[in-house]
Amino acid sequence: MSFCPNIVGFACQWCTYAGADLAGNLRAKYPPSIKLIKVPCSGRVEPEHVLEAFAQGADGVLVGGCHFGDCHYKTGNHKTSQRMKIFAKLLADSGFDPRRFRLEWISGAEGYRFAEVVEEFTKELQELGPNPIKEGV
């Protein structure tokens, strides 16, 4: 059996966290890989948080927020988008596989989508194998 990757997810409380709750209400199934840290807005997430998760051995990190136009704080997710896109580039430039990092917009109504994203991300991480930092490579 392939390993179950450990995914740290940062989820804004209004959309992605609510979407994950809805997945529960709908009894959607997804692997127990992801564990969410609730933040008010995706705009609260810092690149340092993502780096720290990787440094501590997380196999994948997901940052989840509202779709554009839906952010509870108007434009918080635009800031997230700008910030995280630059960060993903730097991550790739430093030789770390950027596929381990995902930025997703999942609304509070998209319970099934949350489950699908986790399912798919988990599969991808299973193919990539464990975080090389953790393995000491």
Residues found near other proteins in the complex (CB under 8 A): 1-6, 8, 13-15, 17-18, 20-21, 23-25, 27-33, 35-41, 43-46, 49, 52-53, 56-59, 66, 69-70, 72-76, 79, 83, 107-110, 115, 126, 130, 134
Residue 81 interacts with ligand FES (CB under 6 A): yes or no: no
Q: What residues contact 114, with CB distance under 8 A and at least 6 apart?
A: 16, 19, 20, 22, 23, 28, 30, 64, 106
**Contact partner at residue 81 from ligand FES, other proteins, none, CB < 5 to 8 Å by partner kind:** none
- The only residue of 33, 42, 122, 131 in contact with ligand FES, by rule CB under 6 A: 42
Residues in the chain: 137
Query: Could you tell me the smallest distance in angstroms from the CB atom of residue 97 to other proteins?
Result: 17
Residue 10 interacts with ligand FES (CB under 6 A): yes or no: no
Residue owning tokens 């109504």: 109
- Whole-number Å distance between alpha carbons of 67 and 38: 17
Query: Could you tell me the smallest distance in angstroms from the CB atom of residue 92 to other proteins?
Result: 21
Query: How many CB atoms sit inside 10 A of residue 128's CB?
Result: 15
Greatest pairwise CA separation for the chain in angstroms: 44
- Whole-number Å distance between alpha carbons of 79 and 47: 12
Q: Which residues bind ligand FES (CB under 6 A)?
A: 12, 14-15, 41-43, 65-66, 71-73, 76-77
